[in-house]
Each structure stands twice: as structure tokens, then as C-alpha cells.
Amino acid sequence: MLNAPSYGDFFLLQFDGNTRSNGSGMHVAWVQVTKNSSSSAFTVVDWSPKSNYGGNCSTQTIGVGYIFSWSMNVTMCEWWTVYADPINRPGLQITQWSCPLCTVYNDLREETILQEVQTAKNKSPIWNLYYDFT
């Protein structure tokens, strides 16, 4: 709980985690928080990250050949996609890492969620946390 005025309390949920491919490969990893059904009512005051980010691009050459050969360069980029709807669905926040044209082996990818909420005085929020990768 953060220092709060007399009319309410503020709480901060912070999740920082890494997804590891374990050698079998992955191309999507995500983390999601939702408001638990038994939670006190709360209002989302702030959250992070707030926008999508694309980066870590590389160019790969793919091709086929037998008698004739054909190849082309393909740019593969990783994406971190954020979804939050603090007005209509308070507490719901999803952060997803994806690499649609690639598969990551034996490496880590970071997933982070930060959410600040306000409750009535002496009330506490309860969140559900889900995560997975494919």
C-alpha cells in the first residue's frame, strides 16, 4: 500500500518475469492479471507498459532448391503487445511477447506488468495472475 489520502488507499501490483524456451522453442509468451471476484472494488489509476513495442529485428534468408533454386530475404521482428481497459474492465491487463515469423530456442524473453489501483479506505484489491507460452 502506498501513502494515501484519507478518502482511499493505493496499491501497486508489479510483476516482472522471464519466459524460457527450454530448448523446445517458443514464439508467444504472455502474462495477464485480472481482478479477483472476491476483491474489493478498485479503480485503476496507472499502468505500464502502456503501448505496443516492436523491435529486435533481423533479416533471414530462406530458400528452396533442387534443379532450380529460389531464395528471398525475410525480416523477422519480435513484438511486445499490451492490452488494458481500465474503464470497462478494471484490473484486466495483458502483456504478450510474440515473434510471428520465428521461433526462439534456449533464450529468455521478459514480461512485465505494473498496475496502480485505488480502493476505499481500509479495503484491499485481489488480483489473479496467469501466464503461459507456446
pLDDT tens column, 54-95: 877 888 787 888 888 888 888 888 899 999 999 899 999 999
Give me 31's grid cell. 502474462
Position 3 confidence tier, pLDDT thresholds 50, 70, 90? low
Position 126 confidence tier, pLDDT thresholds 50, 70, 90? very high
Position 133 confidence tier, pLDDT thresholds 50, 70, 90? confident
pTM of the model: 0.78
Position 1 confidence tier, pLDDT thresholds 50, 70, 90? low
* % of the chain with per-residue pLDDT over 90: 46
Position 134 confidence tier, pLDDT thresholds 50, 70, 90? confident
User: Residue 99's pLDDT is what?
Assistant: 87
Q: Write the secondary structure of the chain as one string of H (helix), E (strand) and C (coil).
A: CECCCCCCEEEEEEEEEEEECCCCCECEEEEEEEECCCCCCEEEEEEECCCCEEEEEEEEEEEEECCCEEEEEEEEEEEEEEEECCCCCCCCEEEEEECCCCCECCCEEEEEEEEEEEECCCCCCCEEEEEEEC
